[in-house]
Amino acid sequence: MKQFTVEQANRTLPLVSRIVEDIVRTYGMWQDKVREFEVLSATVRADVPNESAEALQKEAGLLAEEIDRYIGEIGSLGVEFKGFDLGLVDFPGEIDGKPVYLCWRLGEPAVQYWHDRDTGYEGRQPLGPAATA
């Protein structure tokens, strides 16, 4: 597992941020297609093919594949994608020799938080001055 310092995490942030923006945008589009499909499917009979429903299902599938590719890109950088709603990622790192995640979410200007590896977003704490130096 790749380990990041705060400085290294912040250097990768421009690329990570663009990929996370793509994930969040595409995820929203996927949710819309799934909702459209569900609404349409509620009015369609199972024994009668419906081209609109099939097209929506195909579009949703393609968007899901695109999301998977973006998440794979994040993973190939050594970063873990953690949440569609917040655009949340964790950079494996350590503070005072202790394994932690350096935590960032879409819209934040830099990596400014961390949490223990066994806690999630709720356990986020601000990085101290020594960690960000």
Tell me the whole-structure pTM to 2 decimals.
Answer: 0.88
Report d(CA 80, CA 84) in Å as an integer.
12
What single-letter amino acid sits at 74?
Answer: I
20 burial type by CB count under 10 A (0-12 exposed, 13-18 middle, 19+ buried): buried
Yes or no: say if 84 and 23 are a contact pair by the CB < 8 Å rule: yes
Low-confidence ranges of the chain (pLDDT < 50): 133
pLDDT digits (tens, 9 = 90+) for 64-93: 999 999 999 999 999 999 999 899 999 999
